[in-house]
Structure 1
Amino acid sequence: MKPSRRPEAGELRERALRLLARREHSRAELARKLEQAGFAAEDIAPLLDDFEARTWLSDRRFAESWVADHRAKAGSVKLAYDLRQRGVADEVIQAVLRESRDSEIERAREVWLKKFHCVAADASEKAKQMRFLQSRGFSPDVIRSVITACD
């Protein structure tokens, strides 16, 4: 069995850059990954401050990327929840979601059509369809407009 070792300080910057090269990360997500790799929190914070000053790390850019990648299958409620779980501030979340709000009804309609293909035959089927859209993170107003437009 190999003995575990503490990573050296010079490795911190390299590891952080490798992670950012793969995809965008939120500040909290990147800090968590670096801590799990064994780096000290007091070394991580100044490095991430430097990355933010150089715009190599941006919660806003991460949120825009996340929404672009996941909006085809999820509504604003779920997207906001996922971003909060990744440490993005509410102001950033609201700003990013506000930009994509106009297409939410269309996205919900596409998700609904892909799953159900037809209008609900009875009230229980309609409730099932509404629960499905709710589980995908669409708001009640959007769900009602999609279901009533399809009736």
Structure 2
Amino acid sequence: MMKQKLSLKGRALRYLSMREHSRIELARKLSVYAEEGDDIEAVLAWLEASNFMSAERFSDSLVNRRSARFGNQRILAELQSHQMNDVEIRRVKENLVETEAARAINVLHRKFPRAPVDQHERMKQSRFLQQRGFSGKAIQQAMRVPREDDQ
């Protein structure tokens, strides 16, 4: 029995059923399967008009997946790489700022359950948080919080 070939619309709905995608990400994935005469932009416009694809849902989904491991800078950079508009990025940033210090503490304590014993270890832990995209203020707050082993 031969498999039926999926249309671009069907393929797009399959991708969106697995997780939220940004417009540019879905266009890139669909372009591989587009044949002459297929209009990817029309499919994307239909998905947005039908509310199958939403920039707000995508950004919320991305934040939900990334916020437990990464800082604001890294999450916002990823949203920019997906070409989210400035209004959406500003909305996400306002929500993330409130929780960044708590997330940095959580990430630091999971990776390094013991407090640094010397300056070298302290810098190593700070760099770890910095590479994860946390702000300097959040890093300083996280480094000041005592660890479970200290008590």
List gaps (5 residues or longer) in structure 1. 1-7
Measure how far apart 1:128 and its partner are. 0.7
Q: 2:99 aligns with which of 82, 92, 103?
A: 103
Measure how far apart 1:137 and its partner are. 1.0
Match of 2:52 in 1: 56
AA aligned opposite 2:16:
L
Say whether the 8 Å CA contact 1:60–1:96 is kept in structure 2.
no
- Name the Cα RMSD after superposition: 2.1
Match of 1:36 in 2: 32
Measure how far apart 1:114 and its partner are. 0.7
* TM-score, length-scaled by structure 1: 0.85
Q: Does 1:67 align with 2:63?
A: yes
Match of 1:17 in 2: 13
Match of 1:94 in 2: 90
AA aligned opposite 1:115:
K
Q: Count how many residue pairs are aligned between Structure 1 and Structure 2.
A: 143
**Greater helix share, structure number:** 1
Q: Does 1:137 align with 2:141?
A: no
List gaps (5 residues or longer) in structure 2. none
Moved over 6 A (4+): none
Quote the sequence identity (%). 36
Q: Deviations over 1:27-72 (max 9, x none)?
A: 1111111112234697011221121122111111101011011110
* TM-score, length-scaled by structure 2: 0.85
Secondary structure of residue in 1 paired with 2:143: helix
